[in-house]
Amino acid sequence: MNTSTRLGGFKILKDVVWISLIQPKENYRFTTALANLMANEKINLPFLTCGDQNQALGLNFVVDAQDAKKTSGVIEKNFGKTNLTTTKGAVLSIFPHRSNPEIIGTLLDVLGKLGDQPIAFANSPSAISAILSEDVINEATNALFDPFEFGPYRTPEDWKLAQKGKEKLYKEVVASYQEKKPKVYGLEWQDGQALIHVKLDSGHVSTMGTALKDFAQFGLVLTFFISRPSKEKNKGNLFFCLPEPDKYNYIAMVQKLLPEASTVEDTSVASFSMNGPHFGDRYGIISELLNSLNKAQVGLLGLSCSIHTISGVLSAHQIHPAIEAIRKCFEVPSVIKKETQ
């Protein structure tokens, strides 16, 4: 019997360089400063995640391969020597995941079995994305067809045949203009969330996927999910949001499978997400958001920028100032509060 999960599809963004970076200790607005520099240099950031825990902030982001050397030079010039690594890679995105921990957990399980490979994750309400090193992308593509079905593509070969020529087309769709006030299709937010931070060995990604699938058995929804680099070798950090615990002990559920993992839970947080026509392919979007939030003295606990969506998580009492700050720098036709499931 075929028990695979049917999804809409997936895509791969190639010819990119993945940069992992730990903030300098003396610069607590490092992400904003970096985003401003990238905007000034007109460097697109199609993928960026950052998570803050005890003022130890780390970033994963992607730039076009042609901008990689320039990006590294700008960082070194403005911040001196930093804890930075670069990897030639690709961004793999599957959709729609419907915020279902079962789908996200299955993806972690699949990618974790590729070996002890560095992987970075980000999510939007519609897609879950992962940065992989270039040398495992074909293996990852083939592995997806075991647990998932993708519309008309029955095999990896079917999908690859259908993608011929699309990569060039995607590159040509980059926005050629800059709106004075970027447009947003809509903004959604919800409170009553708990933010879980798990520090784990890089070789335990697949086991973490199993833990996420356990959450799905209780009908729980993941409203936020990212990874960020760690200062410690062969370690990684995952941040994700679930409804504030009532009858579930999230930390115990994770540590049942990963007893050696370091797990922290912050309650009374809120999450938001918004998407726009050029969020994934034009420079300056992230810097405008962060500058506006800084002016409003709003601090993010986590940020996810992937595909055409920006998602964030912050203390619940700051959600309304954050929404006002967003409306000052973006054209937002609607703001919708989602009920916590």
Cβ-contact 39, 311 below 8 angstroms = no
**Alpha carbon 246 to chain centroid, angstroms:** 27
Q: Give the residue from 263, 198, 208 showing the smallest Cα distance to 228.
A: 198
**CA torsion, points 4, 6, 7, 10, in degrees to nearest 10?**
50
21 pLDDT more than 60: yes
List pLDDT tens digits, range 212-261. 999 988 888 899 999 998 888 888 899 999 999 888 899 999 999 999 88
What distance in Å separates the CA atoms of residue 263 and residue 284, rounded to the nearest whole number?
Answer: 34
Lowest mean pLDDT among 28-37, 82-91, 113-122: 113-122
111 pLDDT more than 60: yes
Among residues of the chain, what percentage have pLDDT more than 70?
91
Q: DSSP letter at 272? A: E
**CA torsion, points 145, 151, 155, 159, in degrees to nearest 10?**
-110
Mean pLDDT for all residues in the chain: 87
Tokens at 98, concatenated: 């419907």
Q: What is the pLDDT of residue 168?
A: 55
List pLDDT tens digits, range 320-330. 999 999 999 99
1 pLDDT more than 60: no
Q: Are strands 302-306 and 235-243 parallel, antiparallel or unpaired?
A: unpaired
Query: Crossing angle of helices 137-144/101-112, nearest 10°?
Result: 130
What distance in Å separates the CA atoms of residue 287 and residue 35, rounded to the nearest whole number?
Answer: 5
Cβ neighbours around 247 below 10 Å, total: 5
Query: Crossing angle of helices 205-216/101-112, nearest 10°?
Result: 160
What distance in Å separates the CA atoms of residue 274 and residue 292, rounded to the nearest whole number?
Answer: 15
Cβ-contact 228, 21 below 8 angstroms = no
Cβ-contact 226, 313 below 8 angstroms = no
Q: Which residues contact 135 (CB under 8 A, 6 or more apart)?
A: none
List pLDDT tens digits, range 137-193. 999 999 999 999 887 888 888 888 877 766 554 454 455 446 778 889 999 999 999
What distance in Å separates the CA atoms of residue 303 and residue 122, rounded to the nearest whole number?
Answer: 9
In order of 20, 61, 115, 164, the CA distances from 86 in angstroms are 7, 10, 19, 27
Q: What is the pLDDT of residue 282?
A: 77
Helices (H), 248-341: 250-257, 285-295, 319-329
